[in-house]
Amino acid sequence: MSDTTASERETDGNGRSTLPAEFLERWRDVAYNCFSSGHKFCREVCPVMQVTRDERHTPTAFQANVVAMEKGHLTLEDVADDYVHCTMCGACELRCPNTLFTGDFYRFRQRTIDVVKAMRALAVQNGIHQRNWKRWAELTDRWGNEPVLGWTRETSGARVRAWAAGLDLPTGGETVLFADCEAAFKRPSVPRSVAQLLRACGIEFGLMEQQWCCGGPMWETGYVDIAHRMAEHNMLDWRRTGTRRIICPDPHDYITIVEHYPELDDGFDEFEIVLALDVIAEALRDGRLKLTVPIERTVTYHDPCRLNKRLGVWQAPREILRAVPGLTFVDVDHVTQWSYCSGAGSNLWVEKPEITAQISSRRIAKARELPGVDGLVSACPWSERPLSEQGAAQGMEVFDIFELVAEAAGFEV
């Protein structure tokens, strides 16, 4: 985690950090796209802005800062804290008029998330750290997995397979199941459910020799060197055990691997990265997986940001929920849910837990408005921690979709 020295940084006459030329070359047009459009359609769908009502926390501000810094009106020290206020949900990119008017034809999408990531990385490079993110990054680097159990309960690579105790899963093989840090250590019922379902579908799979964090939160909070170490370790592990197909139950892992790993490895195409949701939906469709145990509940579904807004995956989870016998599923369409978020993304909850709590609380309140609904189903373990906390306070039970399906398939979860 090396900071650049003062003499290496680009600074103004007062020693304050300015934008390096390569940053401007990369992100200037993106910023001006927003600055010249200026409609602020994005402002009201932004989950952070919804609770802070602070103009510095809007997607527009994140782009306008780049323009202001280019003109010498602001420095990195002035704006670094602004960029903490983003869950990287992707709502603003979808609601941006530039995306809406040109997206389909030109395959264009405004790039606010990438600008936020780039600015956070530049802050870290220039020695501007957020206290908890720095600590999180240091422990992830030391243990190989994120400190999801707190600062003192070690989540080392040696213990990352503990969730699979008694399931007798082999190491490596053509296909492996990649259980993210949060699920592996904090909500083991999720990977256990997925493992049992995959077996019931007749899919042979193993676990990595020693899985490390996917690196996603390191990329998202600016600790890029650590992210690279995580990714390189994981790809080495896959190659060592002859793995070609990686099944990801967690959308954060999936999106990190497909967006970031290819640029690190010319041979990345040899790997196939698959969402567990798609595997389960397909098995239900072709009859390999049968759900026979009725779940007599009325639930709604929370579209996790990385699935719905970032990847455009919203049909498979609905298909799965509609296949659960006994379940009454009250849907809220995926476009309305562009403005919903759990508040957990990009480790906002580690640095600003009070903002995450407010965002989750609003999400649970939305679910409570639906007639008869007393359960909220998500498909992202990271969202399930803050949603469960707020759900407990508001009388709403929070499930992971795989837990629910495993129960309907007759497994203990």
Q: CB of 108: closest distance to ligand SF4 in angstroms?
A: 16
Of 52 and 193, CB closest to ligand SF4? 52
Q: What secondary structure, in 3-state letters, does 108-165 show?
A: CCCCHHHHHHHHHHHHHHCCCCCHHHHHHHHHHHHHCCCCCCCCCCCCCHHHCCHHHC
Of 113 and 224, CB closest to ligand SF4? 113
Looking at the chain, the number of H-run helices and the number of E-run strands are: 20, 7
Beta strand segments in 306-374, E: 328-329
b/e per residue 374-399 (b: at least 16 CB within 10 A): ebbbbbbbbbbbbbbbbbeeeebebb
Question: Which of 360, 318, 365 has its CA nearest to residue 341?
Answer: 360
Task: Compute the distance between CA of residue 178 and CA of residue 211 in angstroms, rounded to an integer.
Answer: 8
Of 160 and 387, CB closest to ligand SF4? 387
Q: CB of 120: closest distance to ligand SF4 in angstroms?
A: 12
Q: Which residue has the tokens 């309960």?
A: 153
Query: Which helix H or strand E contains 376, and what residues bound it?
Result: strand 375-378
Q: CB of 86: closest distance to ligand SF4 in angstroms?
A: 3
Task: Compute the distance between CA of residue 322 and CA of residue 324 in angstroms, rounded to an integer.
Answer: 6
| Residue 408 and residue 325 in contact, taking contact as beta carbons nearer than 8 Å | yes
Q: CB of 380: closest distance to ligand SF4 in angstroms?
A: 15
Question: 3-state DSSP call for residue 145?
Answer: coil
Of 229 and 306, CB closest to ligand SF4? 306
Q: CB of 306: closest distance to ligand SF4 in angstroms?
A: 11
Of 113 and 273, CB closest to ligand SF4? 113
Of 90 and 206, CB closest to ligand SF4? 90
Question: 3-state DSSP call for residue 175?
Answer: strand
| Residue 97 and residue 39 in contact, taking contact as beta carbons nearer than 8 Å | yes
Task: Compute the distance between CA of residue 90 and CA of residue 308 in angstroms, rounded to an integer.
Answer: 9
Of 75 and 87, CB closest to ligand SF4? 87
Q: CB of 195: closest distance to ligand SF4 in angstroms?
A: 32
Of 91 and 405, CB closest to ligand SF4? 91
DSSP notation for 312-361? ---HHHHHHHHTSTT-EE----TTGGGG---S-GGGHHHH-HHHHHHHHH
Q: CB of 87: closest distance to ligand SF4 in angstroms?
A: 4
Q: CB of 51: closest distance to ligand SF4 in angstroms?
A: 11
Task: Compute the distance between CA of residue 29 and CA of residue 35 in angstroms, rounded to an integer.
Answer: 10
Of 91 and 409, CB closest to ligand SF4? 91
Rounded to an integer, what is the distance from CA 273 to the centroid of its chain? Answer: 16
| Residues at the site binding ligand SF4, with contacts judged by CB under 6 A | 45-48, 59, 86-92, 112-113
Task: Compute the distance between CA of residue 273 and CA of residue 400 in angstroms, rounded to an integer.
Answer: 21
Of 355 and 379, CB closest to ligand SF4? 355
Could you tell me whether strands 375-378 and 175-177 are parallel, antiparallel, or unpaired per DSSP bridges? Answer: unpaired
Decide: residue 144, CB within 10 A, 0-12 exposed, 13-18 middle, 19+ buried: buried
Q: CB of 89: closest distance to ligand SF4 in angstroms?
A: 4
Q: CB of 31: closest distance to ligand SF4 in angstroms?
A: 14
